Each structure stands twice: as structure tokens, then as C-alpha cells.
Amino acid sequence: MSKIITFKGKIDMGLQDKIKLSTITGKTGYRINKFMIMSSAPGGGSHAEVVAKMYKSDQTGSVSPTVDFTDGDLLAAVYYQDGDLASQPSSVDIILDQAIFNQDVFVTMQDADGATVPFNYYIEFEAMNISDLEATMLTLKNLRSITAR
């Protein structure tokens, strides 16, 4: 049986948030259901091209607006674009990996145009029980990813 858990927060541009999901036994798996972002100052009349990403590993020192879907640690990406004028509607593209994981995740935020207005995020995970074998496999997979860097 699965349940839905949510997280929300606000990130300054160029930084990351750690979302603590890991457990002692690792027998809770997670899948991303929603990943949404919104400016902390909507309607401010400034252009925004914000990229939010969710990773399996810490991204300290490497937060950028570049999206690389060949990166095995990338779980999700959101691209938010908003124009300077009311006649330029905002648009959002959201891509979620349906992978199951059992470790902490890291959310990054960066504006491709260099704006500095912080952005809010809302994330919805589906939490599920996983077997001992699945927990071991996911934990080992995560360790291999860390040591491969």
C-alpha cells in the first residue's frame, strides 16, 4: 500500500535544498508524482527562465540551468518561463522520471537569465513499502553512483 507525502520550500537562485527521505532500513521507496515551482514574487513584471531540478546526489558547487537527461542522478526537471508583460503568458514544462528510490534527494533552482528572485517548490512523492531485496538493490545502486564520481 502506498501513501502520498508532500514537501514545499523556497530556494534562492543557485542554491539547493536537501529533502530527507532516507530511513534506517531503506525499506521505504519513493516515486515522484508532482514537481511544481512558482515565483516568490509573482506579477513583478520581470522576465524569468527558471530551471528546477531534482537529483539523487548533492549538487553543491554545480547548480546550473543546464539540463542533461543522460545524467543518471537527475530525477526530474521543471522549466518555467514568464514574460515581462501580462500579454506574455507563463509556460511550464515538467519531466519526471518514474524511478523508485530510497535515499535523500536534492532540489536545485537557477534562472537562465541571471535573475535572483527566489522560487517556491512543491513536491509530491508516492511512498511505498519495498522488500529487503529491493531496498538493498536501490541502496547499492546509489552507492555505486556516488563512488563513480
Instruction: Write out pLDDT tens, residues 66-117.
Output: 999 999 899 999 999 887 666 666 788 899 999 999 899 999 999 988 888 8
The CATH fold assigned to 2-147 is Jelly Rolls (2.60.120)
pLDDT at position 138 over 80: no
pLDDT at 132: 82
pLDDT at position 148 over 70: no
pTM, whole model, 2 decimals?
A: 0.87
pLDDT at 118: 92
Collect all residues with Cβ–Cβ distance below 8 Å to 96 and sequence separation of at least 6. 32, 33, 35, 75, 76
pLDDT at position 53 over 80: yes
pLDDT at 55: 96
Q: What percent of the chain has pLDDT over 90?
A: 57
Q: How far apart are CA 34 and CA 43, in angstroms?
A: 24
Identify the three-state secondary structure at position 40. coil
Q: How far apart are CA 55 and CA 32, in angstroms?
A: 12
pLDDT tens column, 17-33? 999 998 888 889 999 99
If one compares 23 and 46, the residue with the highest pLDDT of the two is: 23
Q: Residue 2's beta-bridge partner residues?
A: 128
